Amino acid sequence: MVVSNKDENYTLKIHKNLQNCKIALTANDSSHAQAQAEDICRSLDATSFNLSYGHCKFTPLSELYKDLSSNNFNHKKCSPWLGKFSNNVPCIYIFKQRYYVRSLILKYLDIPREDVFARPSCNCKSCINPYHFAYEIGKNTKLGSGDWNLVLAFLGQGTGVDQIAGAFKIHRSTIYRKLKNERILAGAQNHS
């Protein structure tokens, strides 16, 4: 990473659930670093932070926050995530918890609604460019209602869960979880 002469290096120490994490920051000045620290803490739902001068190891998460703070995204180019993935979705593991990167970006940008989620409109599953997001309202599901009806039809015909999961490019646990949730809802409605 190339840092210009005017940028200063900071270390942000974030506290959450009696755990700590360090994130490298570069900023124009201390007020810019303070604003970044507050935005980062909001995105991670952190309880407090300490900001100090000095170098810290840059990680994919540090790079993401640097790009967000200086709007280093291009309308035309995808920005592929270079970190980890879960179910083909960019994620990070911090504070013994999994965070989806696009959700972090929404919180960082102060889009606080819990029912808003982002999908890449560029068809690049690893893209984290906010300009390429299609913002949607509703529950973020891997299967739409039409897809779920097909899954139920295949299950009714005796097709195996592994084969169905492969066809829809999802993990088999997604199907089992949805089946379990539907059984719980059906049971609650029968008892009413």
Same domain, 55 and 101: no
Residue 77 maps to a domain: no
Q: Max CA-CA distance within the chain?
A: 68
Residue 76 maps to a domain: no
- pLDDT at position 5 over 60: no
Same domain, 27 and 63: yes
- For all residues of the chain together, what is the average pLDDT? 85
Q: How many domains does the chain have?
A: 3
Residue 1 maps to a domain: no
- pTM over cut 0.85: no
Check: CB of residue 67 under 8 Å from CB of residue 73: yes
- pLDDT at position 3 over 60: no
Residue 16 maps to a domain: yes
Q: Give me the mean pLDDT over the 91-105 stretch.
A: 93
Choose the final residue of a domain: 137, 156, 175: 137
Selection from 22-31, 158-167, 175-184 with the highest mean pLDDT: 22-31
Domain that holds residue 100: 84-137
> 59-97: per-residue pLDDT in tens?
999 999 999 998 899 999 999 999 999 888 999 999 999
Residue 115 maps to a domain: yes
- pLDDT at position 113 over 70: no
Residue 153 maps to a domain: yes
Same domain, 62 and 89: no
Same domain, 154 and 119: no
Residue 3 maps to a domain: no
Residue 117 maps to a domain: yes
pLDDT at 92: 95
pLDDT at 4: 47
Beta partners for residue 176, in sequence order: none
73: helix, strand or coil: coil
- pLDDT at position 1 over 50: no
65: which residues sit within 8 A by CB, 6+ positions away?
23, 25, 36, 39, 40, 108
Of 8-12, 20-24, 92-96, 159-163, the one with minimum mean pLDDT is: 159-163
